Amino acid sequence: MSEPVRVPVLIAGGGVTGLSAAVFLAHFGVPSLLAERRPAPLAEPRARSLNPPTVELYRAVGLERAIRAVRSPVADHTVVAHAGSVAGPERVRLPDRSTAGGPGQWAPIDQDQLEPVLRDHAGGADVRYGTEVVEVEQVADGVLATLRSVGGDVRVRAGHLVVADGARSALRDLLGIGHSGPGTIARKLNVHFEADLAGPLRGRRVVALTVANPAVRGFLTSVDGARRWRFAISLEPGQVAADFPRERCAELVRAAIGADGVSIAVERVADTTWDIAGRVADRMRVDRVLVAGDAAHTMPPVGSFGVATGVQDAFNLAWKLGLVHRGVAGEELMATYEAERLPVAWATTKLCVERYRVLNGGPGDAAGNGARRGRLMFECAYPDGAFVPDPDHPRSTRVAQASTGDLLGDWALLTGAFARGWEDAAARAVVPVTCRPAPGPLVAEGVPADGAVLLRPDGFAAWWGTDPGSLHAALDRVLCRGVDAPAATVEDVVGAPAG
């Protein structure tokens, strides 16, 4: 058998998370090979926008302009509500995304618009559609994988494997990684149809409208912002796609609309169902394998967290892999990927499950959920990971000034007004560090007049200090240089499973 293809990082899955990982790895100087079993990028919209923290990560690698050059057809839609029918009165309306608070601007772009942008800006990544990773073996200093396509099987040896093959991840199961959480909440079947719903909508610009009445339950989304729609029918236990011929689907859509005289034309009915679920993988790292995106955390599609959480996973693992593959950081740095991202996976999944239940008329506080959504989106903090804690800063927080000052993507040292000796210390650091005065708001947060805060490439604080001579030792600790740090366990990170 021929020698395996060698590549620093193999990525299994070419959705937003996998493609983002390829883009970010290229930015940090790491070549990758991406295998996606679909023959081409996604052909229909799923996620409809990117929240500001996610846009900032794309800005850090020079992608924001290309993303904003494409605009979702529902960019100006804001309504997320629950009703008995489209024509009926609303029972619940969730706060729209503009109330989430925090700096930065949303990017209204559909997932099927975003994936080609990412593919085209993935640098030197080898992106292979119609190719699936079917076997994985952990070997010394990496993984040995088998890729399958119509052209036959190819073996690949990689230093690391990023598993981003979606909610039904075959590789996660192959690796024996279990999951916890509420599980499947609802099963859906998509019906695509055309209709003029201007009358029933009464001027409302709907992002998502859930419907529940004696005849049908499901939710409605606009495909083109005008006449093309997608209605996701909620299935009862035991029902399958074959139970819903086109004629029955047309009847259910009319029941969901709840208005006489509306002409509809069913374009197609999906031949498979899909789940709305809340699941979190028990592990996000197993030796040289890193699990990201929906393969690591599946959450209801409400709140603009699904894609965002996967993109943030990808950036977190990419900057760390960049340092490990350059020999600057120890392999133990990759243990901090799970330590940091697994609690975020639990928090976002729990929030989205609650939000979905409120949106479907269940118990809960819509306003309170919206407030927590904003805090999680803009005030995320890591209780454990790649940073040096101290009594005043026990957690690593995301420093907003990093994004507003265009510091993301690189290491930065923000210094107090009377700090001395920091530029020389930064110039001799093991990684390139940009040194500049801290802006006023950050000084107010606690940067001493003679001290500094070290920011990681993702804008999180890595260390607060007052002695320039301690910077290098702090970096060694953050980057696990010469440190035999034990890998984090699920119990260390999240305690007892939620739900």
**Radius of gyration, alpha carbons of the chain:** 24
Nearest to 284 by CA among 307, 309, 303: 309
Q: What share of the chain is helix, strand, coil (3-state, %, to 5)?
A: 30, 30, 40
CA 336 to chain CA centroid, nearest Å: 17
pLDDT of the residue at 406? 74
pLDDT of the residue at 103? 56
The whole-angstrom separation of Cα 205 and Cα 72 is 13
Residue 161: which pLDDT band, with cuts at 50, 70 and 90? very high
Q: What is the mean pLDDT of residues 305-316?
A: 96
| Token representation of residue 231 | 């209605």
Residue 495 has pLDDT above 70, yes or no: no
Positive/negative CA dihedral, 191, 196, 199, 204: positive
Which of 116-125, 149-158, 261-270, 355-364 comes out lowest in average pLDDT?
355-364
> For residue 58, how many other CB atoms are within 10 A of its CB?
26
Residues 41-89: pLDDT tens digits? Answer: 988 888 889 999 999 999 999 999 999 999 999 999 989 999 999 999 9
Higher-confidence residue of 26 and 302: namely 26
Domain covering 183-275, topology:
D-Amino Acid Oxidase; Chain A, domain 2 (3.30.9)
Residues 6+ apart with CB under 8 A from 481: 328, 329, 330, 430, 475
Domain boundaries, given as residue ranges, for the chain: 5-75+103-181+281-378, 183-275, 387-478
Is-contact 462 388, C-beta < 8 A?
yes
Residue 402: which pLDDT band, with cuts at 50, 70 and 90? low
pLDDT of the residue at 368? 83
What are the C-alpha distances in Å from 327 to residues 322, 331, 357, 466, 479? 9, 9, 47, 28, 10
Residues 97-115: pLDDT tens digits? Answer: 654 445 568 999 999 999 9
Domain 387-478, what architecture? 3-Layer(aba) Sandwich (3.40)
pLDDT of the residue at 371? 84
pLDDT of the residue at 491? 28
Give the E-state strand segments of 65-169 in sequence order: 79-83, 90-93, 126-129, 132-139, 142-149, 152-163
Residues 180-194: pLDDT tens digits? Answer: 999 999 999 999 999
Is-contact 377 50, C-beta < 8 A?
no
The whole-angstrom separation of Cα 88 and Cα 103 is 36
The whole-angstrom separation of Cα 96 and Cα 51 is 12
> For residue 166, how many other CB atoms are within 10 A of its CB?
20
pLDDT of the residue at 373? 85
Residue 301 has pLDDT above 60, yes or no: yes
pLDDT of the residue at 484? 45
Task: For residue 492, report the phi and psi dihedrals to the nearest 5 degrees.
Answer: -60, -35
Residue 366: which pLDDT band, with cuts at 50, 70 and 90? confident
pLDDT of the residue at 254? 98
The whole-angstrom separation of Cα 103 and Cα 398 is 12
pLDDT of the residue at 69? 96
Domain covering 5-75+103-181+281-378, topology:
FAD/NAD(P)-binding domain (3.50.50)
Q: What is the pTM assigned to this prediction? A: 0.92
Is-contact 414 455, C-beta < 8 A?
yes
pLDDT of the residue at 97? 61
Residues 416-469: pLDDT tens digits? Answer: 888 889 999 999 999 999 998 887 656 546 677 888 999 999 999 999 999 999
Residue 238's region, left for phi above 0, alpha for psi from -120 to 50, else beta, is left
CA 52 to chain CA centroid, nearest Å: 12
Q: Output DSSP code: residue 420.
A: -
pLDDT of the residue at 363? 81
Residue 403 has pLDDT above 80, yes or no: no
Higher-confidence residue of 419 and 23: namely 23
The whole-angstrom separation of Cα 122 and Cα 31 is 10
Nearest to 329 by CA among 95, 15, 28: 28
The whole-angstrom separation of Cα 484 and Cα 89 is 61
Higher-confidence residue of 482 and 42: namely 42
Q: What is the mean pLDDT of residues 22-32?
A: 97
The whole-angstrom separation of Cα 273 and Cα 460 is 39
Residue 128 has pLDDT above 90, yes or no: yes
Nearest to 310 by CA among 94, 45, 103, 11: 11
